[in-house]
Structure 1
Amino acid sequence: MKKLLLVFVGLLCSLVISAQTNFQELSLEKAREQARAENKPIFLDCYTSWCGPCKMMANDVFTLEAAGNYFNKNFVCVKIDMEKGEGPAIGKQYEVDAYPTFLIINADGKLMHKLVGAMPLEELIENVECGLKANSIAEYEALYQAGKLDKTEQMAYWRLLSISGEVVKAQNVGDDLWRKLSEKDKLNSIYWPLLRSRATTIEGEEMKFVCANREYFEKEVGKEEVGKLIYNSFITELNMMIVYQLPAKKYEKVPVIKALLETNDVPRKEALLKITELAEARANYDEKSYLDILDANLDIWNDSEKRTVFEAAKLFISLANGKEQTRRLGEIALRAHETVKDEVVKEGIIKIGLTSRRMSGNDGVYWEDLGSLKEVLDRASLEGRYVFLYFHNDGQTSKLINEKLFSSKEVGDYLNKFFVNYKIHVGEGEGANIARRYGVIVPNMVVVLDKYGAVRHRVSNLMQGDFIKHVNETFDDNKAVGVLEMRYNMGDRSPEFMLKYLMALGKLSSPRTSLVAVELFALLDDEQRTSPEFWVLYHPQFSMITSDMKNYLLSNIQKFREKLGAEKVDKLVGFQINSDLNQVLYNAKARTSVEDIDRMIRFIKQSKLQDSEQLICLANVVKLFKNKVCSVKEYKKASKGMKPEEIPFADLYANILAMEPGRTEEWNAWGKEIVDSLTDPKYIQWYKQFLQL
């Protein structure tokens, strides 16, 4: 019984494969090996994840039984995403710059034929056969340049160029051929594809020729074919009028188009007449009338027309920037998508509906009211957006961020336009698990996810700096932390990359910063270590991680001065020494000894640093503290050359009085002297509050 069941399942699987095109998951090299073994060429579908026509071909064409019968029998079928894996290299090799593109390649990797664009199965097979039977483009081109192609052969050459995506060449060859054709030739059905490609505007000479000979062409190529051409000329013209705000003179044609529609036999006349009304509303900048017409005629338009009118509405209403009309467009779109059968069109209209709803709320960020992160990711996948994931709690900082940042119009307009926004409370529901999954240790952190749930970027310290600028790094592969993190985990250790990664981590105060800084420093040679490119490594943020970087800076100060300038180098070295000395005052575990301080003083004197006097004074003050001196008299003497605001009075005051509270009066007296010598109102106010004066 079990054997019979296995046989049945096997037969069922083989029937499913034969019923549709069997695209195998093979690299191009493996596909070539199979093509050689089976003595077949390769049919390669070049697609991208965001390409609507690619999805249409995948869902509606290659799933047909007739497609499976043809392509499985004659080709090794492979499909490759042009933005992943070997896709970009293949695209470059075979000059793929539009999607979908279909390549027919032999077992040696030579391109035999190329087709560009989505098309019905019958047309696709016809074009594949046309390319395989004809001469190559190169052979045709040589004969054409030598003037050895007759009109029929030139027609074949034009057609091959057209289906191969050679737009400019096809246009030139087509123009040349059209000039050669007599009136009688133009009536010949052989040249109908060329005539059809040129008859694109209502008032063009080619369309007038078609209309003047309509009955003849309907007999030659079919009534439906001629009707489709006439319809396309109207929809193309109207599409331009509703999508773009054209010069007023262009809209003067609307009554003419309306009259032509009313007085001629044009397919889908009623639908086209309603689109002329949309064109009139567009010409008059009348958003309300446009939406009234859109709302009232959803049942009249087919799926393709709905895609056109909604895409036009999205652009038109966004220009007006009115929240009421944007909200109404969202409502109409979310209602209209239920009447659409084409999945690609349906998806596009849903996107317009969701985005319009998001953009039409009150000022501030629109947070999705969804039940789980999975639903959020599904929404992001549908809309082709990233997820802006904000981790928060009930603390004061979270409330401040909501009030000051996420409630602002500028931030709201930006995030609503580019992201699906979702809040996660780290202490409720799935919040704790999601925070752990994405390495969020503290709240008030943003993690940007791609539609698969992978980290694209991280942003912390939300109230510091230019928030929108920091979030906008999501779209830059050289700054998005998640992208850099993935490259690091995959083994990229080039110094240039490591520097980008270090800078990104530094903004986040990430624990990984120290590891990457030490690793990068170890990778560099002496030339790189003293170059301006890696100068940032010596900032105390990084150099305090390990003494190696700080010691290298101090040991090679002259080299750095020669390459970067004495002022820049001395400023950072002074900042570094200042940081090291102050560390002794406010960090009880600081390991700096009196001997270390003496070495610093010698270094300052020998190097003749700018602000040497200030640094030496500070070093002597810290040395007194290290020797547990508590007398104000000694500290006043040591700090005599310092600017009043540079004296580390507060740290000394707190530490010394903790050791000897009986000295409070003399230290308060010195504090009052410092206040009297200050000029900056901010410092004066701070000191008075500190000393309770």
Structure 2
Amino acid sequence: MKKLLLVFVGLLCSVVIFAQTNFQELSLEKAREQAKTENKPIFLDCYTSWCGPCKMMANNVFTLEAAGDYFNKNFVCVKIDMEKGEGPAIGKQYGVDAYPTFLIINADGKLMHKLVGAMSLEELIENVECGLKASSIAEYETLYQSGKLDKTEQMAYWKLLSISGEVVKAQTVGDDLWGKLSEKDKLNPTYWALLRSRATTIEGEEMKFVCANREYFEKEVGKEEVGKLIYNSFITELNMMIVYQLPAKKYEKVPVIKDLLKNNDVPRKEALLKITELAEARGNYDERAYLDILDANLDIWDDSEKRTIFEAAKLFISLANGKEHTRMLGDIALRAQETVKDEVVKEGIIKIGLTSRRVSGKDGVYWEDLASLKEVMERALLESRYVFLYFHNDGQTSKLINEKLFSSKEVGDYLNKFFINYKIHVGEGDGARIARKYGVIVPNVVVMIDKYGDVRHRVSNLMQGDFIERMSETFDDNKAVGELETRYAMGERSPEFMVKYLMALAKISSPRTSLVAVELFALLDDEQRVSPEFWMLYHPQFSMISSDMKNYLFSNIQEFREKSGVEKVDELVAYQINSDLNQVLYNAKARTTAEDIDRTIQFIKQNKLQNSGQLIGLANIVKLFKNKVCSVKEYKKASKGMKPEEIPFADLYANVLAMEPGRTEEWNAWGKEIVDSLSDPKYIQWYKQFLNLK
């Protein structure tokens, strides 16, 4: 029985697949192989994840049974995201610069036909057939330039250019053809498509010609077709008025448009009249009136009209930057979704609603009040946004970050505009598990994840540096840690890439930083190792884990000085020597020997390092300590020539007196001498507190 059920499910799935267009997950190379085997051309849907018309085609056209019947029978069907994988290369090869674009390619990879833009299934099939039957654009162009196309052939050439997205050339050919047509020709249905493309404004000559001959055209091309053209001329002009703030003179036409609508038979007259009211509000900069009209007429407009009206409202209200009206727009949009049937339009309106609500609250970050990260990710997928995850606890640092950073208007405006913001308490509910999933070890870290849940970027030490600048790195492929980690995991190891990755890891104090530095150092040749481009490798932050980098710096100091400058190199070498010497004072188990210190002194003298007197003094002090000398007299002698504030007195005091407590009086006396020689009040105060001096 179970096997029978599985067979039934398999058959059902087959029916579902072949009832719609069967887009296969193939590379273009594999598609060409299959096309050769099946003796079919390739139908390639070039789309992007953010393209609304692409989604409309995917949801409303290619899912139709008639689409499956036609495309599955005649083509190897493939769809490729133009921003991922081989998409950019395909786009460049075939000149794809608008979405959606549909390419018909033969098995040899030659472009047979190209169509641009969303359209109905009937139009799509008609345009595909037109392109496959017609001569190529190149052949038509040759004949056109030599004047060998008659008017009918020139019309076919114009149509092929139009559906292929060759807008500029189509305009030239169309203008030329229109100038050749007689009044009788213009009434011929053969040229209706050209007339329709030109009759785009209410007051244009072409539209006047259509209206003057309306009854004739309704008989020849259909009443619905003519009505659609007249409607489009009104909606095109009105959409311009509500989407853009045009010069005041343009809005003086609104009463004229109203009269034309009232006194003529125009499809969707009531809907268009309400849009004229929106245009008046837009022209008067009256946000509240616009929103009131929008709110009161949600049931009048169709889905296509709502899409433009809400997009226009988003632009209009954002210009005013008023939170009250932004909130009102958000509420209207979230109510309006219930009146929309088209899923793509509904998705766009919901995005406007959620975004408007997010940016319209009080100053500071708007945190989503959602029950789980799963719900947050559903929201991110819907809005195509990154998620800003803040991992926190109840500690003082978390409270300070909330008060000083996330309550800021500037920070709130930025995060609310670009992210979906969500707090995760690392000690409550699923917080610890989610923190582990995203590699968060301590609280007060933010992780930016994409709509699929993959890490895009990380930021720690939130109160340091320019927070917004650091957050903006999320959108930069060369700075976003998650993006760089992915490329690293996939094997990218070019030196240029490794530098970017290393610097990104250093910013978040990642424990992997030093390991990546060592790997980068191993990849470089000698010329690269002394290049200023890789100078950061020799900072103790990276080189402490491996003596190879430090030794290379010290062994090639003259070359480094020539490439990067004496002052810069000596400063870093001195920093490294200071770090090494101080480790002996801080760590009783340090492996540095007295002989190592002698070699360090010799190195300082041989290379005449800047500030060498200070370094040699410190080296002599550390050597005395390593030899367990406790006499103040010896240390004072070693420190001659050192600045008093540079003498490591506190470390010596604690360590020496731990060995010989009886020397407290002589060490206190030296401490007082140092205090008397100091000029900086901060140092004086510190020493007095340390030595209990009044």
Q: What is the CA–CA distance in structure 2 between the aligned matches of 1:129 and 1:531, rounded to whole Å?
A: 60
Residue 166 of structure 2 corresponds to 166
Secondary structure of 2:125's partner? helix
Report the counterpart of residue 296 of structure 2 in structure 1: 296
- Distance (whole Å) between structure 2 residues aligned to residue 548 and residue 125 of structure 1: 67
State the shift of 1:4 in Å.
5.5
* Root mean square deviation, CA, Å: 1.7
Partner-residue secondary structure (3-state), 2:148: coil
Q: 1:259 and 1:680, CA in 2 relative to 1: closer, same or farther beyond 3 A?
A: farther
The alpha carbon displacement at 1:144 in A equals 1.0
Match of 2:413 in 1: 413
Q: Does 1:646 align with 2:646?
A: yes
> Within 5 A, what are the aligned runs for 1:344-359?
344-359=344-359
The equivalent of 2:528 in structure 1 is 528
Is contact 2:514-2:541 (8 Å) kept? no
1:255 to 1:633, Cα distance in 2 relative to 1, 3 A:
farther
Is the 2:514–2:543 Cα contact (8 Å) retained in structure 1?
no
Of 306-315 and 281-290, the range deviating more from structure 2: 281-290
Q: CA deviation at 1:344?
A: 0.7
| 3-state SS in 2 of match to 1:114 | strand
Mean alpha-carbon deviation: is it higher for 128-137 or for 244-253? 244-253
Q: Is residue 465 of structure 1 aligned with residue 457 of structure 2? A: no
> If the length of structure 2 is used for normalisation, what is the TM-score?
0.97
670 and 176 in structure 1: CA distance in 2 versus 1, 3 angstrom threshold: farther
Give the Cα–Cα distance (whole angstroms) in 2 for the partners of residues 2 and 307 of structure 1.
Answer: 48
Q: What does the per-residue CA deviation read over 1:53-103, in whole Å, with 9 as the maximum and x for residues that have no partner?
A: 111111111111111111111111111122222222221221111111111
What one-letter code is carried by the residue in structure 2 that aligns with 1:468?
A: I
Aligned length: 693
- Determine the structure 2 residue equivalent to 1:227: 227
Q: 1:656 to 1:144 in 2, by over 3 A?
A: same
Residue 364 of structure 1 is matched in structure 2 by 364
Moved over 6 A (4+): none
For residues 11-26 of structure 1, what are the structure 2 equivalents within 5 Å?
11-26=11-26
Contact 2:198 2:206 in 1 (8 A): yes
| CA shift digits 1:394-441 (9 cap, x unpaired) | 111111111111111111111111111111111111111111111111
Residues 49-448 of structure 1: matches in 2 within 5 Å? Answer: 49-448=49-448
Structure 1, 552-561 or 268-277: larger mean CA deviation: 268-277
Q: 1:677 to 1:225 in 2, by over 3 A?
A: farther
Is the Cα–Cα contact under 8 Å of residues 387 and 449 in structure 2 kept in the other structure? Answer: yes
Flag the 1:676–1:287 CA change in 2: closer, same or farther, 3 A. farther
Q: 1:629 corresponds to which letter in structure 2?
A: V
Q: Which amino acid aligns with 2:275?
A: I
Does 242-251 or 451-460 show the bigger shift? 242-251
Q: Secondary structure at the match of 2:113?
A: strand
| 2: CA distance, partners of 1:691 / 1:142 | 97
Return the offset for 1:17: 2.6
SS of 2:521's equivalent in the other structure is helix
Shift of residue 247, structure 1, vs aligned partner: 1.7
The percent of aligned pairs where both chains have the same amino acid is 89
Is the Cα–Cα contact under 8 Å of residues 366 and 412 in structure 2 kept in the other structure? yes
Q: For residues 220-279 of structure 1, what are the alpha-carbon distances to aligned partners after superposition, in whole Å with 9 as ceiling and x for unaligned? A: 211211111121122121212112222222222222222222222221121112112112
Distance 1:361 1:685 in 2: 48
Whole-angstrom distance in 1 between the partners of 2:413 and 2:121: 43
Task: Give the match for residue 683 of structure 2.
Answer: 683
* 1:504-537 residue CA offsets vs partner (Å, 9 max, x unmatched): 1111111111211111101100000000110110
CA distance in 1, matches of 2:353, 2:216: 46
Residue 202 of structure 1 aligns to a residue whose secondary structure is: coil
The one-letter code matched in structure 1 to 2:465 is G
Aligned partners of 2:585 and 2:323: how far apart in 1? Answer: 57
Matching residue's letter, 1:35? A
1:38-53 correspondence to structure 2 within 5 Å: 38-53=38-53
Listed as ranges, the matches of 1:473-512 within 5 Å are: 473-512=473-512
Q: Deviations over 1:86-140 (max 9, x none)?
A: 2222212211111111111111111111111110000000000000000011111
2:576 counterpart residue number: 576
Residue type of the alignment partner of 1:108: D
Whole-Å separation in 1 of the counterparts to 2:131 and 2:614: 81
Q: What secondary structure does 1:506 align onto? A: helix
3-state DSSP class of the match of 1:210? helix
- Name the CA shift for 1:259/1:560 in 2 (closer, same or farther; >3 Å): same
User: How much does 1:669 deviate?
Assistant: 3.8
Partners of 2:284 and 2:690 lie apart in 1 by 66
Of 614-623 and 104-113, the range deviating more from structure 2: 614-623
Compute the displacement of 1:3 (Å). Answer: 6.7
Distance in 1, matches of 2:659 and 2:235, equals 88
Counterpart contact for 2:251–2:280, Cα < 8 Å: yes
Change (3 A) 1:393 1:312: same
Q: Distance in 1 between matches of 2:492 and 2:408?
A: 39
Indicate how the Cα distance of structure 1 residues 4 and 645 shifts in structure 2: closer, same or farther if over 3 A, else same: closer
Q: Deviations over 1:483-520 (max 9, x none)?
A: 11111111111111111111111111111112111111
Q: Secondary structure at the match of 1:230?
A: helix
Higher alpha-carbon deviation: 4-13 or 152-161: 4-13
- Offset of 1:475 from its aligned partner? 0.6
Aligned in 2, Cα 1:563/1:295: closer, same or farther, shift over 3 Å? same
Q: Residue 517 of structure 2 corresponds to which residue in structure 1?
A: 517
Q: Do 2:201 and 2:237's aligned partners in 1 also have CA atoms closer than 8 Å?
A: yes
Greater Cα offset, 670-679 or 607-616:
670-679
SS of equivalent residue, structure 1 residue 33? helix
Alpha-carbon offset, residue 675 of structure 1: 3.5
Distance 1:677 1:213, change over 3 A: farther
One-letter code of the match for 2:388? F
Distance (Å, rounded) in 2 between the aligned partners of 1:669 and 1:306: 85
**CA distance 1:276–1:666, shift in 2 (3 Å):** farther
Q: Report the counterpart of residue 551 of structure 2 in structure 1.
A: 551
SS of 1:80's equivalent in the other structure is strand
Give the secondary structure class of the aligned counterpart of 1:424: strand
In structure 1, distance between residues paired with 2:241 and 2:687? 69
Instruction: Say yes or no: does 1:626 pair with 2:626.
Output: yes
Q: Between 682-691 and 363-372, report the one with greater CA deviation.
A: 682-691
Please give the residue correspondences for 1:543-622 in structure 2 after superposition, counting only pairs within 5 Å. Answer: 543-622=543-622
Counterparts of 2:390 and 2:359, CA distance in 1: 19
Give, in angstroms, the shift of residue 49 of structure 1.
Answer: 1.5
Q: Secondary structure at the match of 2:421?
A: strand
Query: 2-side partners of 1:156 and 1:591: how far apart?
Result: 86
- 3-state secondary structure, aligned to 1:45: strand
Q: Deviations over 1:317-346 (max 9, x none)?
A: 111111111111111111111111111111
After TM superposition, the score normalised by the length of structure 1 is 0.97
| CA–CA separation in structure 1 for the residues paired with 2:136 and 2:346 | 40
